[in-house]
Amino acid sequence: MEPDFQHMIVRVLLVGGVIIAAGTTALFFAFRAFARPSSSRAFIWLMGICFVILIVCAILWRVSYSAG
């Protein structure tokens, strides 16, 4: 394997691990908020998570085209 590939794959795995951990934590709190059906906290949590996912995807898309 080339050293550049190894460096890039380690970077991808680290960033992916952080994203997965953050998403799991956020979804845990969002679904926990559904325990109280009278509040709108669950909907706000899910909308916030969707917004963050869209922003992260847009940033990654922009970075992927600017590197080339």
* Per-residue model confidence as pLDDT tens digits over 4-58: 878 887 888 888 888 888 888 877 877 777 776 666 777 777 788 888 888 887 8
Q: How many domains does the chain fold into?
A: 1
The beta strand positions in the chain, using DSSP E, are none
Question: For residue 50, what pLDDT is reported?
Answer: 81
**Token duo for residue 28:** 């845990």
Burial of 18 (0-12, 13-18, 19+ CB in 10 A): exposed
Structural domain of residue 52, as residue ranges? Answer: 3-66
Name residue 25's amino acid: T
Considering the entire predicted model, what is its pTM?
A: 0.52
Residue 42 CB contacts under 8 Å (≥ 6 apart), including other chains = 30, 31, 33, 34, 36
Question: For residue 28, what pLDDT is reported?
Answer: 81
Question: For residue 37, what pLDDT is reported?
Answer: 65
Is pLDDT above 60 for 68?
Answer: no
